[in-house]
Structure formats: C-alpha cells, structure tokens
C-alpha cells in the first residue's frame, strides 16, 4: 500500500521548486535529519513530517542535512538513508531541481524504499519529463466531467 502526497511549489536556494508528489511505501510519520550545530559544536536532530521532507532538504541545501531515520505511525524508529541522483556537472544543471540530489529514502539495512519523489527514477533512467500532479489531476477531472455531461443532459430530457 502506498500513499501519494502533493507538495506545493516553493522557493529554495537553488531556485523555484515546482509542485511534485511524494510517495510513501510504509506508514512513515516523520523523517529524522542529522545536522551539525556549529554554535553548540555537536550534531542535533531535526524531525520533519514526511510530507515536508523534500522542502526541508531543498531549503537546507547546500548545508547538508543527513537523513538518519524515519519514524513510523506506531512510534517505531527505523534507521534510514537518503539516496542521491548521480549526475555530471552538466546534467546536474540541466535536471529539474527535484531530480537533483536526494530523491528517495530507504532502510539502512533492508534497502526498502520508504519515501520517494514520484517520477524522478524515470527521469534519471530515460529522461521522461516529470508530471505536474495538479495538471494531471485537473485533466482527469475534466475528462470525467465531459463524460458525465452527455449523461446528465440525456437524463434531464
């Protein structure tokens, strides 16, 4: 069972991050990032709701927050790591921002995918453009409404 969540567009240090979807493959509640606090001179943990992990990661760039765990709905804490897209300098600059850097979170030992940005794997493998989730859903809604309109007119007569 997977759950998809649409993320609204936002601004980050690299530029405008378009709306995208995150898919959760497990009942993940939160993502745990490790960040080094220079003032305290020690690592600290930031816990972010799973629907906001891409925003936290992209807005924290280039300061390097490291995913170290996910917390499930039942409170279980599972060790995790973020996996990164492999690019040349040229392909990195050409890639959409959501296709750069980290794009999925997996179990540290099991390598099970916990969370991923929908469509990035296809983009990296074959250059398939990312789908705008709102445009896709609006198109499907309009198609359903067009299909329902003739039936409504027939029933009204």
Q: Which of 40-44, 58-62, 115-119 has the lowest mean pLDDT?
A: 58-62
Per-residue model confidence (pLDDT) at position 21 = 96
User: Residue 113 has what pLDDT?
Assistant: 97
**Position 114 confidence tier, pLDDT thresholds 50, 70, 90:** very high
**pLDDT for the residue 33:** 97
Average pLDDT over residues 14-38: 95
What is the rounded average pLDDT of the residues 118-134?
92
Domain residue extents for the chain: 3-130
Quote the pTM value: 0.86
For residue 156, the model assigns a pLDDT of 59
If phi > 0 it is left, if psi is from -120 to 50 it is alpha, else beta; for residue 99 that is: alpha
pLDDT score of 154 more than 80: no
Chain mean pLDDT for the chain: 92
Residue that wins the pLDDT comparison between 51 and 134:
51
- pLDDT band, residue 119 (cuts 50/70/90): very high
HEC-encoded secondary structure of the chain: CCEEEEECCEEECCEEECCEEEEECCCEEEEEEEEEECCCCEEEEEEEEHHHHHHHHHHHCCCCCEEEEEEECCCCEEEEEEEECCCCHHHHHHCCHHHCCEEEEEECCCCCEEEEECCHHHHHHHCCCCCCHHHHHHHHHHHHHHHHHHHHHHHHC
């Amino acid at each position: 069972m997977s759950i998809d969540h649409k993320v609204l567009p936002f601004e980050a240090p690299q530029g405008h991050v378009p709306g995208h979807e995150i898919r959760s493959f497990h009942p993940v509640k939160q993502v745990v990032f490790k960040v080094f606090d220079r003032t305290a001179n020690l690592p600290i943990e930031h816990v972010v709701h799973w629907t906001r992990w891409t925003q936290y990661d992209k807005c924290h760039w280039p300061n390097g927050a490291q995913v170290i765990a996910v917390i499930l709905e039942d409170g279980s804490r599972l060790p995790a790591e973020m996996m990164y897209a492999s690019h040349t300098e040229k392909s990195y600059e050409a890639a959409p921002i959501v296709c750069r850097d980290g794009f999925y979170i997996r179990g540290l030992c099991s390598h099970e995918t916990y969370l991923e940005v929908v469509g990035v794997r296809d983009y990296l493998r074959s250059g398939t453009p990312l789908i705008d989730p709102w445009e896709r859903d609006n198109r499907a809604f309009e198609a359903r409404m067009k299909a329902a309109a003739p039936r409504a007119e027939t029933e009204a007569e």
